[in-house]
Chains A and B, each alone.
Chain A
């Protein structure tokens, strides 16, 4: 049983529940208290000791149901053996007299696997599969590409070679029986396939997800396929959560060395003003204020979409976000993004300004006319765009003024550095007025960029 518990913990890790050794020890102790008799209680026990958030509880509950949904192979096997023994003890002479009535074959002729299949003993078969899975170390399965190899290994361990030989022998002597065995073999293949698929679901999920996420993180945002958009959204939310956890720690730091006279006097009033307890001045740190200008024309639109999603899911870290979208002209979109789910919000923004040909000069002029006062010395201004202004006046002078007013001016460009300055790209001209210019094409670069921006306030 201990072995089974360990396998369950591994499956739980596969399901995304972080089970530390200490927690598994606790779970073991708890299980030894409540026992295995009541499945609902056992489930509750695991949920209490292993899962530490609502999401983890849900994942672990599913994992538990999946793991314990199949019959317990070990116990059933022993029961089966018991009943077999009883049958043998009780009906030995009769069986002998019948001379193997089940198909009329002597047990010496066919191998154990063929016997098992012919007797249609489900318990024994599933026990044999479980044993063979153990021998083939099925819990080590990680990727779906390994399914075939594990099926072969399990069938080998169950003695499929002998079964094939038996079938070959029997096709000559007893074709009907050979046919039955062939059918049974096909059935067995199906069962083993299911067992392997279930194991992959239990043990391989984490690896598969990690692999997929790693690929997604490094894929260029502008060119991902529509079906991956939803996965990318999930990934962006994960990134946002990670950034929140990292940067939402209290922003107060005690500044030793500067006595806060007022608070010290008040705190020590009980002792006649004799300063037993000292109070030191604290320094408050500002939360980031962000003004984001996003190009939503053509190729940059997708990147802007994810960028805006990320920025707007950082509520606990970022104090104030004003976002603006532009292509030919510029509008404020903060309200739209906050009141609607991301898909609808993006669709509305696109219908208002999207997919025009971009005019950076005009858009910057719009910003200066309407919202220049949102930029304060505490603000970080982020411009996301490819700086391709269709040979119109880039109005870099406005960008200079924005840079002078703000704490930092960051330009994120989804294009590679090699292409900056070629064709109608105005990047080199803009870059002179920015504090930081970086490429930002993948989720990974996006995370780095936003993380750096937030970190400058810590």
Chain B
């Protein structure tokens, strides 16, 4: 059941998201709270795997709303994002209604009269029944609001951005044949971007801009705790410390939160009680996705483990 009451406070956001297993930093919680209060979309930027998409899922689960996802890619156009006419259905209906049309128009003496009569029926075949709603239109039509996730907007073309502007600022779209469709209930809109290209200023202006970077060590430990409950506290501290050390290296792809969680799962599966040189070396491919990165990190493993364990002693 959708929870349509307004959110009370920033703390409520934090605890609500935490209940869904999403540990949000203060800034993320503030962004979610503000986006509800002043009805603005959130544009989330950051490296891959820090939980940009998860945020939308967590909000949807917490508020009990439906989540509608639009995955962007090069060449995405309004027929796939917004709406489309059901050509086949239109065609079928004209075939079926042929006789009926003949009856209706039968009384007309001249072609001109028949045309006039046809006009009185209006645009039967360009009405709501023949519109196939795509994600954006679906989101506007949800009676109890929804979470609209526009994923990886930077992958789409610049033209598509312009298409989004009307939806983002006024929560409405204009379909030439039908007129303007406004949102029944304003959806919570989340856009994500990996900064593959710079987005237009017009788009940015309409959004709250949230940058999610790699989390602080404490926060990351809490995230691991909530996602992988089976892991012991000592190991959790060690592995998060280790990953933070790895992030100081100059690598092609730094391990992000999703890799941390995967690694924690792997370590639990292997029943490791603490980090050792062997086990790290064997499982490093979970963290690092390039051969060159693994080669760069391997000589450092021992010193990183030592550093990570020392941290555990003092904090």
Contacts and interface: CB of A to CB of B under 8 A. Distances in A.
Contacts of B209: 48-49, 51-53, 57
Interface residues of A, number: 29
A52 B157 contact: no
Nearest to B206: A22
Contacts of B204: 52
B250 to A, nearest CB: 12
Contacts of A53: 209
Interface residues of B, number: 25
Interface stretch (A219-227, A245-253, A381-389, A430-438): A245-253
A48 B87 CA distance: 44
Interface stretch (B30-38, B53-61, B139-147, B222-230): B30-38
Interface stretch (A28-36, A198-206, A289-297): A28-36
B284 interface: no
Interface in A242-265: 245, 248-250
Contacts of A54: 45, 211
Secondary structure of the A contact surface, majority rule = helix
A48 B31 contact: yes
A20 interface: yes
A33 B38 contact: yes
A270 to B, nearest CB: 7
Contacts of B31: 44, 48
Contacts of B88: 270-271
Interface in B197-211: 197-198, 201, 204-205, 208-211
Contacts of A392: none
B91 interface: yes
B158 A30 contact: no
A48 B210 contact: yes
Given A48-B209, A250-B158, A33 B27 contact: no
A40 B25 CA distance: 12
Contact of B198 (A22, A34, A245, A270): A245
A245 B158 CA distance: 12
A23 B40 CA distance: 11
Contacts of B34: 30, 33-34, 45, 48-49
B26 interface: yes
Contacts of A316: 197
Contacts of A22: 205
A18 B201 CA distance: 10
Contacts of A49: 34, 208-209
Interface in B138-181: 157-158
Contacts of A211: none
B10 interface: yes
A156 interface: no
Contact of B205 (A20, A29, A40, A276): A20
Interface of B: 10, 26-27, 30-31, 33-34, 37-38, 40, 45, 87-88, 91, 157-158, 197-198, 201, 204-205, 208-211
Given A34-B10, A47-B27, A52-B204, 17 more contacts: A18-B201, A26-B38, A30-B37, A33-B34, A34-B34, A48-B31, A49-B34, A49-B209, A51-B209, A52-B201, A52-B205, A52-B209, A57-B209, A249-B158, A271-B91, A276-B87, A316-B197
- Which 8 A-B residue pairs are closest in the complex by CB-CB distance? A52-B204, A33-B37, A44-B30, A48-B208, A52-B209, A29-B38, A44-B27, A276-B87
29 contacts: A20-B205, A22-B205, A23-B205, A29-B37, A30-B34, A30-B37, A30-B38, A33-B33, A41-B10, A41-B26, A44-B27, A44-B30, A45-B30, A45-B34, A47-B27, A48-B27, A48-B30, A48-B31, A48-B209, A49-B34, A49-B208, A51-B209, A57-B209, A249-B158, A250-B157, A270-B88, A271-B87, A271-B91, A316-B197
